């Protein structure tokens, strides 16, 4: 029996609590007044607890554990807290505890959070188990249940299962429709998504924004803008989605224009604008935006600081780097969080402070894939290829599994440092131990590596064995190698291939012409120059293919 009935004094105290300190005080009151078994009061406490300290799972769990016989409300609240902040395994052990010793039966409020936790990590098998449990509990007819299942199957790319849930629902609302539409969008089925968008009885902001996002992702910015204009009330999300779309398309003028149109800008929109400038190689602009933001007395979050650090890395300014670091130490920023730490390492290597980068890297509580890659790349930039390779193996020893990007980084390093045998070993490791199929970029790295070390024939054989469509980058690297090793015969074959795959690239003609010139084959040179002018190709001096297409 509760000793007190939701003491109004404690309740009102609880409602004004904002910080952990406030909560500790209220908690002390709860314990002193013997209210630890008051379900209603503890429910309030748990809710406010996570609002104040979202990532702290331990504290609400401890308060919950003090309740002798928690009711279903309390179980569901704690379940949601775990689902949002704890690893999936923790959520499932809580779920087991609830079913085995909880003396309660899971209800329709229990499952949606669990399903959501499964979809956030695409845990298809686990989600199916929860789905089955929900069916056994007779809650699968609930709209929330259905919507979370549609979202889950959509995120796991099981669109057929999503449709089955959607079609089987007796009652659907805008959330269920939106979740299904997002499933179609993620599968690339624009027609089905558009049909749903047009046919659904009711739309909310999330619906409109999801459609805009899908159109942006498919590259159709014109229709995205049209839908945006048709939206009854545009919120920060809609603006930010379009800003991101323009940034990805390289149109920073349009992105900036959208940003300036926003009636109220939040941190996410500032961050989108900044990272747009960073992505488009305009670090100076990103730094300027950061200045504008600070002038408005806005407190940057970690995302924004990561963008600022990337901008600084591009600028290579050690002064700015030092300023950012001291700024972060003053504020409430957690510099040990993986993405922040990785950005710090990257910034310091690119601004020339390898000692600082190494110190930061070694002092991290745990090094993840991204921080390892930042450090490996840093060593590569500073010409310390051998150290980079041994760091790569240390990463594997520490149990961090390399992904495709990590292999690109290490292969590029080997290629820059001329570590041919090491590169070949890494390439074999990727295919034989990790069973990864190399991407065009990986092949390009290998061709570069073999080609630069003079093994042009081996490079040619590798590229011919590639089971995918020829990648211009790899062939281009090989042509470059043919030039530096004066292999006219192979150069001709490679160039022929390149003229097929990228006929617009004048650089390939120039390379071949240089190969001829170095072999004193002037007749071939003039032939080639003629073919170039016939095709209307012109090589801009000092400008690569990438530059000229970007400018166009």
Nearest-angstrom CA–CA distance, 54 and 52: 6
Nearest-angstrom CA–CA distance, 153 and 538: 51
Between residues 244 and 480, which has the closer beta carbon with respect to DNA? 244
Whether the Cβ atoms of residue 309 and residue 342 lie closer than 8 Å to each other: no
Nearest to 346 by CA among 365, 334, 333, 361: 361
* Residue 308: CB minimum distance to DNA, A: 11
* Residue 404: CB minimum distance to DNA, A: 21
Nearest-angstrom CA–CA distance, 535 and 539: 12
Nearest-angstrom CA–CA distance, 289 and 295: 10
Between residues 176 and 453, which has the closer beta carbon with respect to DNA? 176
Residue 179 is encoded by which pair of tokens? 């979740």
Between residues 244 and 402, which has the closer beta carbon with respect to DNA? 244
Distance of CA 124 to the CA centre of its chain: 20
Nearest-angstrom CA–CA distance, 347 and 320: 10
* Residue 225: CB minimum distance to DNA, A: 15
> Residue for token digits 């310390």?
384
* Residue 368: CB minimum distance to DNA, A: 19
Between residues 74 and 130, which has the closer beta carbon with respect to DNA? 74
Contact residues for DNA, defined by CB under 7 A: 5-6, 39-40, 43-44, 47, 71-74, 76-77, 80, 107-110, 112-113, 116, 119, 139, 142-148, 151, 173-176, 178-179, 182, 204-207, 209-210, 213, 235-237, 240-241, 244, 266-272, 275, 301, 303-304
Nearest to 6 by CA among 32, 24, 30: 30
Q: Please give the angle made by the CA atoms of 270, 275 and 276, to the nearest 5 degrees.
A: 95
> Which sign does the torsion angle of CA 121, 125, 131, 137 carry?
negative
Burial of 88 (C-beta count, 10 Å sphere; 0-12/13-18/19+) = middle
The 3-state secondary structure of 275-302 reads HHHHHCCCHHHHHHHHHHHHHCCCCCCH
Between residues 163 and 303, which has the closer beta carbon with respect to DNA? 303
* Residue 145: CB minimum distance to DNA, A: 5
Between residues 163 and 393, which has the closer beta carbon with respect to DNA? 163
Between residues 134 and 380, which has the closer beta carbon with respect to DNA? 134
* Residue 441: CB minimum distance to DNA, A: 22
Between residues 15 and 457, which has the closer beta carbon with respect to DNA? 15
Between residues 5 and 164, which has the closer beta carbon with respect to DNA? 5
Nearest to 130 by CA among 101, 103, 151: 151
Whether the Cβ atoms of residue 244 and residue 272 lie closer than 8 Å to each other: yes
Rama region for 418: left / alpha / beta (φ>0; ψ in -120 to 50; rest) = left
* Residue 272: CB minimum distance to DNA, A: 4
Whether the Cβ atoms of residue 267 and residue 300 lie closer than 8 Å to each other: yes
* Residue 228: CB minimum distance to DNA, A: 12
Between residues 129 and 488, which has the closer beta carbon with respect to DNA? 129
* Residue 49: CB minimum distance to DNA, A: 12
Q: Please give the angle made by the CA atoms of 43, 49 and 53, to the nearest 5 degrees.
A: 155
Between residues 269 and 280, which has the closer beta carbon with respect to DNA? 269
Burial of 536 (C-beta count, 10 Å sphere; 0-12/13-18/19+) = exposed
* Residue 102: CB minimum distance to DNA, A: 12
Q: Please give the angle made by the CA atoms of 471, 472 and 476, to the nearest 5 degrees.
A: 125
* Residue 223: CB minimum distance to DNA, A: 17
Between residues 115 and 482, which has the closer beta carbon with respect to DNA? 115
Between residues 141 and 473, which has the closer beta carbon with respect to DNA? 141
Between residues 251 and 301, which has the closer beta carbon with respect to DNA? 301
Tell me which long-range contacts 517-525 makes (C-beta under 8 A, separation of at least 24): 518/483, 518/486, 519/486, 519/488, 521/488
Burial of 18 (C-beta count, 10 Å sphere; 0-12/13-18/19+) = exposed
* Residue 257: CB minimum distance to DNA, A: 17
> Which sign does the torsion angle of CA 41, 47, 51, 54 carry?
positive
* Residue 149: CB minimum distance to DNA, A: 9
* Residue 310: CB minimum distance to DNA, A: 11
């Amino acid at each position: 029996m509760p000793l007190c009935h939701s003491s109004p004094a404690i309740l009102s105290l609880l409602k004004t609590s904002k910080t952990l300190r406030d909560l500790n005080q209220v908690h002390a009151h709860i314990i002193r007044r013997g209210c630890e078994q008051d379900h209603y009061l503890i429910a309030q406490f748990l809710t406010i607890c996570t609002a104040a300290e979202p990532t702290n799972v331990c504290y609400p769990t401890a308060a919950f554990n003090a309740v002798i016989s928690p009711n279903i409300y309390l179980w569901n609240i704690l379940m949601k807290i775990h689902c949002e902040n704890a690893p999936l395994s923790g959520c499932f052990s809580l779920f087991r505890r609830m079913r085995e010793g909880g003396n309660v039966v899971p209800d329709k409020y229990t499952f949606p959070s669990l399903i959501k936790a499964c979809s956030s990590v695409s845990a298809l098998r686990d989600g199916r188990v929860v789905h089955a449990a929900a069916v056994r509990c007779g809650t699968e007819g609930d709209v929330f249940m259905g919507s979370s299942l549609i979202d889950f199957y959509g995120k796991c790319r099981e669109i057929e299962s999503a449709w089955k849930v959607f079609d089987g629902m007796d009652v659907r609302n805008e959330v269920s429709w939106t979740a299904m539409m997002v499933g179609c969008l993620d599968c690339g089925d624009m027609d089905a998504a558009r049909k749903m968008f047009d046919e659904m009885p009711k739309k909310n902001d999330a619906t409109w924004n999801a459609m805009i996002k899908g159109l942006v992702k498919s590259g159709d910015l014109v229709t995205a803008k049209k839908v945006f204009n048709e939206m009854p009330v545009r919120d920060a999300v809609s603006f930010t989605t379009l800003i991101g779309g323009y940034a990805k398309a390289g149109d920073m003028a349009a992105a900036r224009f959208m940003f300036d149109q926003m009636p109220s800008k939040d941190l996410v929109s500032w961050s989108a604008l900044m990272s747009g400038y960073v992505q488009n190689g305009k670090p100076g602009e990103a730094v300027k935006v950061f200045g504008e933001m600070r002038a408005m007395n806005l407190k940057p979050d970690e995302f924004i600081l990561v963008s600022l650090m990337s901008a600084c890395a591009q600028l290579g300014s050690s002064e700015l780097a030092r300023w950012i670091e001291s700024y972060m130490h003053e504020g409430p920023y957690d510099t040990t969080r993986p993405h922040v730490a990785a950005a710090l390492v990257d910034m310091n290597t690119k601004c020339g402070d390898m000692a600082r980068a190494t110190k930061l890297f070694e002092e991290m509580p745990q090094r993840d894939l991204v921080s390892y890659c930042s450090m490996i790349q840093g060593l590569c930039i500073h010409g310390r290829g051998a150290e980079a390779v041994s760091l790569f193996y240390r990463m594997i020893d520490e149990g961090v599994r390399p992904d495709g990007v990590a292999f690109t980084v290490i292969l590029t390093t080997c290629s820059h440092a001329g570590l041919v045998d090491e590169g070949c070993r890494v390439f074999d490791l990727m295919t034989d131990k990790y069973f990864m199929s190399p991407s065009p970029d990986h092949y390009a790295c290998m061709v570069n590596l073999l080609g630069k070390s003079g093994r042009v024939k081996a490079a040619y054989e590798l590229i011919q064995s590639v089971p995918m469509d020829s990648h211009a980058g790899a062939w281009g690297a090989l042509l470059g190698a043919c030039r530096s090793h004066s292999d006219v015969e192979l150069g001709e074959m490679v160039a022929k291939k390149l003229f097929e795959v990228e006929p617009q690239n004048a650089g390939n003609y120039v390379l071949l012409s240089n190969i001829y010139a170095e072999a004193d084959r002037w007749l071939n040179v003039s032939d080639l120059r003629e073919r170039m002018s016939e095709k209307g190709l012109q090589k801009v001096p000092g400008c690569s293919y990438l530059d000229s297409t970007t400018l166009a």
